Structure 1
Amino acid sequence: MIFQVAQEDQKTFTDLVRQLVGRCTSDIEKARTIFRWITVKNLNTMQFDDNLRGDTPMGLLRGIKHGTESYHVLFKRLCSYAGLHCVVIKGYSKSAGYQPGVRFEDNRFRNSWNAVYVAGAWRFVQCNWGARHLVNAKEVPKAGAKGKSDSLR
């Protein structure tokens, strides 16, 4: 169902969330469905109309593609429409380029992610990392081999 909804362009957040979580039976299922919808969208291949309003699902995705919006804002908004309590957390993450022992002295490792309250506890969600896609998958090097650094976006 998620993939079917992801192939369509919903005009409003209300329509999108209704289609996504209408059959979900728990809050954790709602959060997982929203996460999966976001991460299945391949912004590297999507084309957007320049006249899209920014306060629509496709407008927000276009903003993410162009660097004026972020995944954590989209996830929080969709959770809000689904009736889930979700917050944005800002901080540092040990992501690409981090080496053990490196201190967080500048903005190189600044990051944001979400926490959503489901099943009686806060769960951390990082849509940005989940939405990465392999590019030219046939050319991806074997584990441990040196190869193209741009194969993951």
Structure 2
Amino acid sequence: MSETFSRRGLVGAAAFGAALLGVSLWAYHLGGSLAGTPVGGAELAATPAAQQTAPNGESIYVGNCASCHGAAAAGGMGPELKHTAAWSDADFAEAVLHGKAQGRELAPVMPRFESLGIDGTTPPTEAQLQALHAYLKGL
């Protein structure tokens, strides 16, 4: 039996594979960081909570969203995100945390970050969500 694959199907499969590779590399790096030794082998210096800086929306986007939504949120495997600038912070949080936007369920491939976590372990904080939303508003 001979099967043919459409160009769209092959492109989709390639994009999915690239996203999977990106997530795998990120998880590998995160695992080393959580263990106390980054991938490069240097020890992590503990930073007191009082000295931590405010969340950076761009770095949150690059680490969690860009592989699907594109470097400038113009779309890729996932849809473009520039329209989210008009959303309220509550609507934006609902989409990121629960995969629900404007009364509809987002695609299953969209991570539900409340259970997945931004850093792979904990749900994003309100400050992280606001920083991410502010970054998208600025694009």
TM-score of the superposed pair, with normalisation by structure 2:
0.31
TM-score of the superposed pair, with normalisation by structure 1:
0.29
Higher helix share: 2
Higher strand share: 1
